[in-house]
Amino acid sequence: MRVTIKDIAAAAGVSVATASLAINDKRGVNPATRARVKAIAQELGYRPNTLARGLVMQHTHVIGILISDITNPHFANIIRGIEDTITPHGYHAIICESHDDNPEIELYALQWLEASRVDGIIVASVSGDPKTHQLLKHLQSNGLPIVLVGRHYIRGEFDTVLVANEESTCTAVAHLIEHGHRRIGIICGPPDVPAAQERLAGYKLALAQNNLPFDERLVRIGHWQVEDGLTCAYSLLREQNPPTAIFAANNMMALGAYKAIRSEKLHIPNHLALAAFDDAVWATAFDPPLTVVAQPSYELGQVGAQQLLSRLPGGKRVDTTEYMCEVLLPQFVVRNSCGCRV
């Protein structure tokens, strides 16, 4: 059996209460006693049971993170941003994946986090499924701090940190248009995901602003994965009147599109220009390097964590019922896949 506080109390010849006080550096213990208790705890390899502690303290110092795909550097960076800001405050993070916004997995994960009595949840990805929405509202009304990062339902319901999807996509597509492209394909995300909607809206906006017609045949829908980018790009290239440029709505699909274009022996940007949403480590290793709308992924995590922290015990917004929304601006990083010279 694992060593408990009872064991160390017995070994030190004190009560469990005193042992607890000593171990947790609370005042009211004779320094000598404290030292003795601590030494014994150390020696016996005592590790306080967080389950028991959490049960009585009513908080776990754990916060849950829900993301869609750990493999995607965007989410990995969000996690980093969160962890780096909560760790100094003594919090741990536990990560759940929804496997690209699968509503069932998402719901299941959230329920597990709830059952695990995490102190707060940062949702960096939601499918848009109403059940999830409902659960999230329920949890929040039960006093569990929730913050949405990079995704949202209706404004004002939750603390949120967003990214200017529409504006930045518009900028990128407009840039492609400036390069003379008039038929621009887009590989977008599922229409029920707000972020995907907004990026598509940005695409449409850029066309409209330049008096270019919107053509349904230039739109492809993927589920954010490399495979989707690959098949969508192929499909776009096989159009009767194929596009001369493509915008991919995330990094993974951009990677897929890149592979497709390369395997078709087309030259980027001469035969086909390319730009994408999300930066990634590999984007500059490509030839030519990819022009991207760089989401501030790390900051997204950071700011989300700060919002959450401010709702946790000791925070400045513990019982505000007003929810805040910060929006972060992506940076448009022009490299060469769009047609710009080095």
* Alpha carbon distances (Å) from 31 to 16, 21, 26, 137, 224: 16, 11, 11, 48, 59
- The reply to whether 102 sits near DNA by the rule CB under 7 A is no
- The reply to whether 94 sits near its own copies by the rule CB under 8 A is yes
**If contact means CB under 5 to 8 A according to the sort of partner, which of its own copies, DNA, none does residue 130 touch?**
none
Torsion of CA 226, 98, 201, 282, to 10 degrees: -40
**If contact means CB under 5 to 8 A according to the sort of partner, which of DNA, its own copies, none does residue 158 touch?**
none
Which residue type does 11 have? A
Which among 20-28, 67-75, 190-198, 317-325 is the span making contact with DNA, rule CB under 7 A? 20-28
CB of 137: closest distance to its own copies in angstroms? 11
How far separated are the first and last CA of the chain, in Å rounded?
65
CB of 321: closest distance to DNA in angstroms? 23
Which among 23-31, 260-268, 290-298, 305-313 is the span making contact with DNA, rule CB under 7 A? 23-31
User: Would you list the DSSP string of 200-254?
Assistant: HHHHHHHHHHTTPPP-GGGEEE--SSHHHHHHHHHHHHTSSS--SEEEESSHHHH
H or E segment and range at residue 255: helix 251-263
Is residue 146 classed as helix, strand or coil in its secondary structure? strand
- In the bound state with its own copies, the residue whose beta carbon lies nearer, of 166 and 278, is 278
- The reply to whether 25 sits near DNA by the rule CB under 7 A is no
**If contact means CB under 5 to 8 A according to the sort of partner, which of its own copies, DNA, none does residue 195 touch?**
none
**Preceding amide of 288 cis, omega within 30:** yes
CB of 143: closest distance to DNA in angstroms? 12
Among residues 35, 39, 70, 208, which is the contact residue for its own copies, using CB under 8 A?
70
Residues 225-284 that bind its own copies (CB under 8 A): 226, 252, 255, 258-259, 262, 281-282, 284
CA distance 133 to 148: 11
**If contact means CB under 5 to 8 A according to the sort of partner, which of its own copies, DNA, none does residue 26 touch?**
DNA
Among residues 16, 36, 102, 114, which is the contact residue for its own copies, using CB under 8 A?
114
- The reply to whether 111 sits near its own copies by the rule CB under 8 A is yes
CA distance 73 to 69: 9
Half-sphere exposure (Cβ direction) of 219: Cα atoms closer than 13 Å: 17
H or E segment and range at residue 294: strand 291-294
Is residue 106 classed as helix, strand or coil in its secondary structure? helix
Which among 73-81, 119-127, 147-155, 305-313 is the span making contact with its own copies, rule CB under 8 A? 73-81
Which among 52-60, 164-172, 197-205, 239-247 is the span making contact with its own copies, rule CB under 8 A? 52-60
CA distance 238 to 226: 19
Among residues 25, 45, 58, 265, which is the contact residue for DNA, using CB under 7 A?
58
Among residues 10, 38, 53, 234, which is the contact residue for DNA, using CB under 7 A?
53
Half-sphere exposure (Cβ direction) of 271: Cα atoms closer than 13 Å: 10
- The reply to whether 60 sits near its own copies by the rule CB under 8 A is yes
**If contact means CB under 5 to 8 A according to the sort of partner, which of its own copies, DNA, none does residue 17 touch?**
DNA
Which residue type does 231 have? T
Binding interface with DNA (CB under 7 A): 1-2, 4-6, 13-18, 20-21, 23-24, 26-34, 46, 48-49, 52-53, 55-58
